[in-house]
Amino acid sequence: MALPGELWAELTMETRIFCSVLLFSWAVYLWEAFLARRQRKVYRTTTHVPWELGQIMDSETFEKSRLYQLDKSTFSFWSGLYSELEGTMILLCGGIPFLWNVSGQISGRAGFEPEYEIAQSLVFLLLATLFSAVTGLPWSLYNTFVIEEKHGFNQQTLGFFFKDAIKKFIVTQCILLPVTALLLYIIKIGGDYFFIYAWLFTLVVSLVLVTIYADYIAPLFDKFIPLPEGELKQAIEMMAKSIDFPLTKVYVVEGSKRSSHSNAYFYGFFKNKRIVLFDTLLEDYCALNKEHSEGEDGEDDDTKSKVKNKKQGCKNEEVLAVLGHELGHWKLGHTIKNIVISQVLSFCLTVLSRRFEFQADAFAKELGKAKDLYSALIKLNKDNLGFPVSDWIFSMWHYSHPPLLERLQALKDAKQD
């Protein structure tokens, strides 16, 4: 009877590579599933508010966040299992060679001979992304209209969802196909050092996309309006000036038409920085805090918000504290460092990102925003139903932001001072 080592030695090199890829894929999946199982145990067993949060989180909010995160984790398990099984079946059944042959037939009918492998590759990529979009659609629908709907976050209608999905697919192809064609051409003519040229090209493309995303891509999906003149805008401009942040514009994005989750970010290079605030972050601007009113244009049948409950948002002082944290990322050079580190390993980036979050919190403290950031983090955690308790291995592996309790503890001393 042949031993496993002898059987392995008898396999061709191609078969060994195939088996290695398959085994590695399942090893990664099982590791992720193990971590997720540990975290689900935390969701199931932690049914009472930790004493550290007893004064700042009520039991009702805690229970809502626990059930929300448990539902998301369970959904992630099943969608991840399906994805892994689908990928395995595609490999075992020869789905990739089949799709490549179909791509060759299509490109051939379009007048491209077999030596035009770039054209065939683009057809292959288009068909592969189309297949992925179709097979992923039921999962996306369930996540949006069952889980997010159940917990009060979804603000989309079916019409809005499908228009958005089609638009995303088209925009993605408009970017992906030309970039891929250029990358393949660079690889084709790059000679022995093609990998260096390919890496430099992808780095440049990444920087360009970061630069143009908020100005030219994001407005295709959401409405951006300048933050009106007033106390908040003046305070933001004063804080930016105090740390030499080259702020040029401040926008509010109508994220409430899509979801009640909140966010804020800045973008731009050199002396052209801009800040974007989600309307769900701003207590005074959030549509979810206002009574439902008639729309302003004909698209409202598809895009109007389905207001179910009021969201709290943050007061101006708390918004400034959150921005103080975000500006800390810029002042401390975290953005450039993240771009560089991202060319390495994602786990290293997660570890570094957690360190950066503490540093950015400390920067906000130096701006005198510790008390407001403390309350803002609590409000944002409540509005987004974030669960404050995590399994330590799951948190270390997945969370680019430290858990709420750790961030509050780091801010506590300065807040008391």
Non-local (6+) Cβ contacts of 82 within 8 A are: 139
CB contact at 8 A, 254 and 290: no
Phi, then psi, of 249 in degrees rounded to 5: -145, 155
d(CA 82, CA 76): 10
Residue 164 tokens, joined: 């958005």
Cβ–Cβ < 8 Å for 399, 390: yes
Helix 95-109 and helix 117-142, axial crossing angle in degrees, nearest 10 = 120
User: Is 326 marked active-site?
Assistant: yes
The catalytic residue among 84, 326, 357, 366 is 326
Q: How far apart are the first and last CA of the chain?
A: 74
Distance separating alpha carbons of residues 167 and 165, to the nearest angstrom: 5
| Cα–Cα dist 201/181, whole Å | 12
Tokens read off for 192: 């022995």
Check if the beta carbon of residue 319 is closer than 8 Å to that of residue 281: yes
Nearest to 370 by CA among 334, 407, 327, 333: 407
The tokens describing 121, both together, are 């590759």
By annotation, the residues acting in catalysis are 326
